[in-house]
Amino acid sequence: MIEPIDDLGLTVLSRILWHAFLSSRVDKLPREEFLKHQRERLQQAIAHGYSKTKFWRNWLDRSGVRPDDIMEIEDLRRIRVCTKYDLLAQPLEDRMADDPKNCIVRSSSGTTGGPMKSYYSKSYYDYLAGYYIQGHYLRIRGILGIGPLDKLMRITHGNPSDVRTISGRTKSLGFTSRLVGPLHDYFARNVTLGDDIDEILPEIRKFKPDFIKSTPSYLRLLAHSVSSEGIEEIRPKALMTGGEVLDEPTRKYLQEVFGCKTYQGYSASEIGKIGFECETRIGLHVSDSVIVEILKDGSPTLPGESGNIVVTCLLNDAMPMIRYDLGDVGSWANSPCSCGRNTPLLESVDGRREDHLTFSPNRIISPKSLMSMLHRDMSLPPSQLVQETDDVCRLRVFAKVKSKGISNLLDEVQAFLGSQTKVELSLEPSQELRVKFRPVISYKNLRDKRWTLVN
């Protein structure tokens, strides 16, 4: 039974702070203790999904598995992997372990497989809020060099952000909100970006954020404006990216323009937080609220080997998610991180599976390697590489005339893809930025074309 939150503000706040305290400790548990902790949470999550939802009961039955069979993390492999299409094929009520009216709802952008609503239980939301507070005000204070009094800004495309939802949540906390709400609004701001960065520049300049969270595409746009207009007021102490792959040339460019470090986060609306970079920035630490598997042909990959990212959420009681294939490709790090955290470490998240250029079953190219090429010279206009057929790719550059730099980029992409692939150049007169600008896409794989740069 979940308590109504509106009249229990202090209780909720204390739970959030408790989660913040817990998550600051779990990361650095000795490895064996951490695994024991995860094992127990996994057993509970599987038993809960099986007993409370028709969907997961049927799913486990069809896998020939009973909850008692899942004692170790490796036992998860006995359960079939589930995709968004499997979930959407069944009615929502079959997947819910709680009344949706008691839950906090999040919507995915629908980049892969169409939009899907996700429901978080209030206790899971408290965990995420605690993780957020711990992450931003305590952990990140140490990691990123920003302090509890520094101002945070998030630039999104209108999706509810953690900042806004926590702000909304504090407003529902009764008298507590009178204290927390204005303080929060002073220290954290959410702005939404449509197609034109100039529309939000005045607000960013006025707010003077110490820490900015956004997608790499939006931060690139902001960096272009800051550097071309010589804007002095936007001098954050750290940047955090999410929502898209961060390629290294983009990271380097952002760091040069803003003069601060850029960190990468990894989350999905269906799941919540999945991973974050620590001070070493050599990989993404997996959040203690999930178990991540990386699979190739159904088997776990070796460190450094690319595979499909499959996630089990351990804490969302409202809408259990077991062995959910996110549609992303990534790899494990070869060695543990030197920071002392014992959580599993992702070496890289390489982007959506459907954005990989697929020429044959044995010739699949990661969008991240191509994005690094497209973003190496930031003085060039924005560009996009589209795979059109098995042997034709199109380099779309948003410029009126072909420059020497554009010719060089074309030659470089052609040399990279080899003579068996023809790379054609299109100069496009104007760009129209969509929710998530995908610099590399494959029409061959694309089911949903809404998020391309130009329709």
Contact residues: Zn ion, CB under 5 A: 278, 280, 337, 339, 341
In the complex, the smallest distance separating the C-beta of residue 278 from Zn ion, rounded to whole angstroms, is 3
Of 335 and 403, the one with the shorter C-beta distance to Zn ion is 335
In the complex, the smallest distance separating the C-beta of residue 341 from Zn ion, rounded to whole angstroms, is 5
Burial environment of residue 37 by CB neighbours within 10 A (0 to 12, 13 to 18, 19 or more): middle
In the complex, the smallest distance separating the C-beta of residue 339 from Zn ion, rounded to whole angstroms, is 3
* Other beta carbons within 10 Å of 379: 7
Contact partners, residue 341, CB within 8 Å, separation at least 6: 27, 28, 278, 285
Of 115 and 142, the one with the shorter C-beta distance to Zn ion is 142
Of 241 and 383, the one with the shorter C-beta distance to Zn ion is 241
Phi, psi of 51 (to 5 degrees): -80, -25
Of 188 and 240, the one with the shorter C-beta distance to Zn ion is 240
What secondary structure, in 3-state letters, does the chain show? Answer: CCCCCCCCHHHHHHHHHHHHHHHHHHCCCCHHHHHHHHHHHHHHHHHHHHHHCHHHHHHHHHCCCCHHHCCCHHHHHHCCCECHHHHHCCCHHHHCCCCHHHCEEEECCCCCCCCCEEEECHHHHHHHHHHHHHHHHHHHHHHCCCCCCCCEEEEECCCCCHHHHHHHHHHCCCHHHHHHHHHHHHHEEEEECCCCHHHCHHHHHHHCCCEEEECHHHHHHHHHHHHHHCCCCCCCCEEEECCCCCCHHHHHHHHHHHCCEEEEEEEECCCEEEEEECCCCCCEEECCCEEEEEEECCEECCCCCCEEEEEEECCCCCCCCCCEEEEEEEEECCCCCCCCCCCCEEEEEEEEHHHCEEEECCEEECHHHHHHHHCCCCCCCCEEEEECCCCEEEEEECCCCCCHHHHHHHHHHHHHHCCCCEEEEEECCCCCCCCCCCCEEECCCCCCCCCCCCC
Q: Alpha-carbon distance 92 to 115, whole Å?
A: 13
Helices marked H in 281-391 — which ranges? 367-374
Of 331 and 387, the one with the shorter C-beta distance to Zn ion is 331
Of 339 and 410, the one with the shorter C-beta distance to Zn ion is 339
Q: What is the DSSP pairing of strand 357-360 with strand 363-365?
A: antiparallel
Of 254 and 345, the one with the shorter C-beta distance to Zn ion is 345
Of 92 and 339, the one with the shorter C-beta distance to Zn ion is 339
In the complex, the smallest distance separating the C-beta of residue 133 from Zn ion, rounded to whole angstroms, is 20
In the complex, the smallest distance separating the C-beta of residue 389 from Zn ion, rounded to whole angstroms, is 42
In the complex, the smallest distance separating the C-beta of residue 347 from Zn ion, rounded to whole angstroms, is 12
In the complex, the smallest distance separating the C-beta of residue 279 from Zn ion, rounded to whole angstroms, is 7
Of 280 and 389, the one with the shorter C-beta distance to Zn ion is 280
In the complex, the smallest distance separating the C-beta of residue 36 from Zn ion, rounded to whole angstroms, is 21
In the complex, the smallest distance separating the C-beta of residue 144 from Zn ion, rounded to whole angstroms, is 13
In the complex, the smallest distance separating the C-beta of residue 302 from Zn ion, rounded to whole angstroms, is 21
Of 33 and 40, the one with the shorter C-beta distance to Zn ion is 33
Of 26 and 339, the one with the shorter C-beta distance to Zn ion is 339
In the complex, the smallest distance separating the C-beta of residue 130 from Zn ion, rounded to whole angstroms, is 20
